[in-house]
């Protein structure tokens, strides 16, 4: 009998604690959530490694995702509460993030809003190719400086 006395006392204290100090919990179930997906590219075909941020205009909920090198698509998964979101796409330039574009997207529960695409070619140029020195492939780094304003 004494074996379960500690357990019973703990249970009574726990139940009493909930009755005296009730807590409200906001729970979001996955069926209630939505998502945003699309492509980040240069000219519609070249993948651009990017960072995407989502900020809900009403809920204030925020999250982010990104694309891997060589990958065009991004997908928030179904983690976003229904709201109208400010969605921003950035590219990494050294240690800085530079904004490609901003879009306003409405997320409804249980659905993913698709084709929210960003094209970096409207704002940035693209350098692509192999580095050669005296006609031979060479290891090295190409550095690009921003325009002088």
CA distance 119 to 40: 6
CA distance 54 to 105: 9
CA distance 38 to 81: 18
Average pLDDT over residues 33-54: 89
Residue 108 Cα to chain centre, angstroms:
17
Whether residue 125 is predicted with pLDDT greater than 80 in this model: the reply is no
pLDDT one-digit tens code per residue, 86-114: 999 998 777 788 899 999 999 999 999 99
pLDDT at 56: 95
Average pLDDT over residues 11-24: 44
- Do 67 and 48 contact (CB within 8 A), yes or no? yes
Whether residue 2 is predicted with pLDDT greater than 70 in this model: the reply is no
pLDDT at 76: 93
What are the φ and ψ backbone dihedral angles of 113, each rounded to 5 degrees?
-80, 115
User: Which H helix or E strand runs over 92?
Assistant: strand 83-93
What are the φ and ψ backbone dihedral angles of 11, each rounded to 5 degrees?
-65, -45
0.85 exceeded by pTM: no
């Amino acid at each position: 009998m004494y074996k379960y006395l500690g357990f019973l006392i703990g249970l009574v204290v726990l139940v009493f604690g909930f009755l005296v100090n009730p807590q409200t919990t906001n729970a979001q179930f996955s069926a209630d959530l939505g998502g945003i997906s699309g492509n980040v590219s240069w000219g519609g075909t070249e993948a651009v490694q990017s960072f995407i941020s989502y900020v809900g205009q009403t809920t204030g909920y925020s999250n982010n995702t990104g694309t891997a090198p060589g990958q065009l698509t991004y997908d928030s998964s179904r983690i976003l509460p229904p709201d109208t979101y400010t969605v921003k796409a950035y590219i990494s330039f050294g240690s800085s993030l530079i904004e490609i574009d901003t879009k306003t997207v409405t997320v409804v529960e249980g659905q993913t809003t698709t084709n929210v695409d960003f094209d970096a070619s409207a704002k940035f140029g693209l350098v692509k190719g192999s580095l050669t020195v005296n006609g031979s492939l060479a290891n090295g780094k190409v550095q690009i400086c921003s325009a002088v304003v």
